[in-house]
Structure formats: C-alpha cells, structure tokens
Amino acid sequence: MQELEKLKLELKKLNAEYAKIKDIPLEKRVEFGQKLNTRKIEILAKIGEAEKAVLDVEVEPIDVTAFSGVNEPLPEFYTTTMGSKHPLMTELDRVVQIYQMMGFDVVESKQLDDEFHMFDSLNFAKEHPARDGYDTFRTEEGFIPPAHTSTMQHRVLKMYKARLDEGKAIAVVVPGRVFRNEDVDATHEHTFYQCEGVYVSETCSMGDMLGILREFFEKYYEQKLNIRTQPGYFPFTEPSLEFMIEKPKTLGGKKGDYLEMLGCGMIHPNVLKMAGIDPTKYHGFAWGGGIDRLVMLRYGLNDVRYFESGNLNFLREFK
C-alpha cells in the first residue's frame, strides 16, 4: 500500500509538469511532451500492478442488498419529506439565470463526446500532451467523457451561425458535467461541473468580455468587485487570460486579496474557421469555470469530495 501511495504522489508531481509546456519554446515542446508522456505511461503501468496486488488480497464480502421494506420499519432517510435539491444544482441554476438575464441562451453539454469536438475543433495540435489517453477518460470504443465544456464550442458556433447573417450576436452559455483522470483529494475531483460562455459578433472585444464577467461575479456575490487578469494559455483562445476577482467580503476577503476564477480569451481564428465563420469579419471570446469551486467559496467548504459523497448529513445542510 505504501508503494502505491508513493507512485500516486509521483504521478501527481509529474502531472504538474504539464503546466510548464506553455513556457517552453515551440521547437522543444514536442520533445518535452513526449518525455512526460513516456514517464507517465511507465508510472501508470506500475500503479496498475500495485493496485492489482492490493485487489488480490482476500477481503470479507459485504452485504450490499438494498432495503427490502418487508417486515422492517422504513428508515428515516427513505421518507420523501427528507429530499432536497443538491447544492450544485441550486448554484448551477443561479449561474445560468444570471447569464440569461444578460441575454445569453443556454445549451446543455454532452456527457460523452469524440476526439474531433474534444481536440481537433479546438485547435489542439496533434502532438499536444492532453491528447494522451491517460490524461482523459476514454471508452473502449474511443469515445471521451468531456474533460471541459469547451467541447461544445464548435457545436454552438455552428448551431447559432445564422444569427451573424442577421446582424445579431452569438451569445450562449453551456453548463455541464465534466470528467478528468485526476488524483482525488480535497481540492481535486474526477467529476465536477463547469459553465462555458461563447460570444461572437462583428464588433465584440476583450473589453466586452471582461465587462460581462465582472457583471456576472458582481451579481453572483451581490457586491461591487475589482477584477484582475494575467496571461494564460489555451489552444482555443488567443490571447488567453486567467480571470481573477477581488475576494468578496462575504468570504472574508480584504482589499488586495484576489482569487483566480476561470480561464478566458479571444476565440482563436482557427476555431472560428472550423465552424465556417470568417475570422476576418467576426470576432469572439469564450470562458469556462468550475461550478463546484463557486459553491465551495460561497459556503466556506474545504473539501470538494463532499459533493459526490452522497453524505446525507452534508446534503441536509442545504435544505
């Protein structure tokens, strides 16, 4: 068991190395990525062997039979009066309603997608490390549970492209569940929720994007907020930014405390071209951020695993 934990820690450190790719010269990125991928495959193979060794140890079976209701009193947690809406769904609805008030349409994300929408349509290079099957869950048939709601960008652009011909803008948000091959801990989950935003018109600018995001967070936290950005890297936006807000007072924030909330940027011309939109005539911006983190910050939670735990004591706190 100690060996397994050691390997998982090594894998976590290796995964952190992928963030350095954006700082490496273009001519060296392929070699750097290939070395990381090779090492990752080796570690994952060792983890697989270690996990198999653990599973081979005999354990006493447990009874997983559901409550039968025959000659037994009904447990408290089976009564319908105890039900409540999951906090993630409550906050997701709130997020969507704010964007709808700002004029955005809503399109729900898929929960199973393909290589084209996950990578090709988003300007990912063929050798990009994120294409590695060990970074993304895949089915035996080659389908991909989406690792980000950006997998819907191409569909949204094509679906609403006719609006541009009418002189209108494409303005859509995409809420959805995403899945990543993460080492689960207090701040990382393999399953969580995101909300994507896409806006395209003839005249939109980065200033419009920052204004929309600032308005959203001010409405969400119900107070005026200062914002800040710093350079980021995403294959599907250029330039790319990391968007931060001044930590709200409701969260104990003080002047000068900033929180990174999401990634954003101007949609890359190649992404527009893939959707049949002329990038010399139209401009766009997009953003994407996690819903789970919004809820954690809003309610002062310190462990993201609560959301998927099914712990009734936790869920009752949000009735």
Q: Which residue has the higher pLDDT, 184 or 109?
A: 109
Clarify whether residues 128 and 30 are in a common domain: no
Asked whether residue 40 is assigned to any structural domain, the reply reads: yes
Say if CB 199 and CB 284 are below 8 A apart: yes
Residues 181, 105: one domain?
yes
pLDDT at position 264 is 95
**Residue 155: what pLDDT?**
94
User: Does 210 fall in a domain?
Assistant: yes
What integer best gives the mean pLDDT of the chain? 83
Q: Say whether pLDDT at 141 is over 90.
A: no
Q: Which two tokens stand for residue 166?
A: 């009418």
Residue 56 has pLDDT above 80, yes or no: no
- Output the pLDDT for position 94: 92
Q: For position 14, what pLDDT does the model report? A: 75
Give the pLDDT confidence score for residue 73 in this predicted structure: 62
Could you give the angle at the alpha carbon of 147 between the alpha carbons of 232 and 183, nearest 5°? 90
- Residues of the domain holding 97: 87-315
Q: Assess whether 47 and 169 both reside in one domain.
A: no
The answer for residues whose C-beta is within 8 angstroms of residue 152's C-beta and 6 or more apart is: 107, 109, 110, 117, 146, 174, 176, 196
Residue at 269 is within a domain: yes
Residue 302 has pLDDT above 70, yes or no: yes
Same domain, 91 and 229: yes
- pLDDT tens digits, 5-49: 787 888 788 777 777 777 788 777 778 878 878 888 888 888 777
Tokens 């609560």, residue? 306
Residue with more model confidence, 316 or 83: 316
CB-CB contact of 265 with 122 (8 Å): no
Considering the domain boundaries, does residue 73 fall inside one? no
75 or 213, greater pLDDT: 213
Distance CA 210, CA 243 (A): 8
Q: Model confidence over 208-243: pLDDT tens digits?
A: 999 999 999 999 988 888 999 999 988 899 999 999
- Distance spanning both ends of the chain, measured CA to CA: 39
Task: Give the integer Cα–Cα distance in Å for 279 and 271.
Answer: 9
Query: Do 123 and 257 fall within a single domain?
Result: yes
Same domain, 35 and 97: no
Mean pLDDT (whole number) for 50-77: 60
Domain end residue (candidates: 39, 55, 71): 55
Band the pLDDT of 299: cuts 50, 70, 90.
confident
> Higher model confidence: residue 70 or residue 150?
150
pLDDT over 80 (residue 319): no
Highest mean pLDDT among 162-176, 187-201, 245-259: 162-176
Last residue in a domain, options 40, 55, 70: 55
227-231 and 237-246 strand pairing: antiparallel
Structural domain contains residue 79: no
Do 143 and 277 lie in one domain? The reply is yes
Domain boundary among 55, 77, 96: 55
Say if residue 114 is in the same domain as residue 256: yes
Q: What is the pLDDT, as a whole number, of residue 239?
A: 93
CATH number at residue 178: 3.30.930.10
User: Which pLDDT score, from 0 to 100, does residue 6 have?
Assistant: 80
Cβ pair 100, 171 in contact under 8 A: no
pLDDT at 249: 73
Say whether both 138 and 40 belong to one domain: no
Q: Name the DSSP class of 142.
A: S
Query: How far apart are alpha carbons 119 and 138 in whole angstroms?
Result: 13
Same domain, 193 and 266: yes
In-domain check, residue 229: yes
pLDDT at residue number 131: 65
> How much of the chain, in percent, has pLDDT values that exceed 90?
36
- Answer yes or no: is 67 within a domain: no
pLDDT digits (tens, 9 = 90+) for 80-139: 555 678 888 888 999 999 999 999 999 988 888 888 888 889 988 877 776 665 567 888
Same domain? For 112 and 261 the reply is yes
* Angle 129-130-132 from CA coordinates, rounded to 5°: 70
- Decide if pLDDT at 50 tops 80: no
Q: Is residue 200 part of a domain?
A: yes
On whether both 241 and 152 belong to a single domain, the answer is yes
What is the total count of domains within the chain? Answer: 2
Please confirm whether the linkage preceding 239 is cis (ω < 30° from 0).
yes
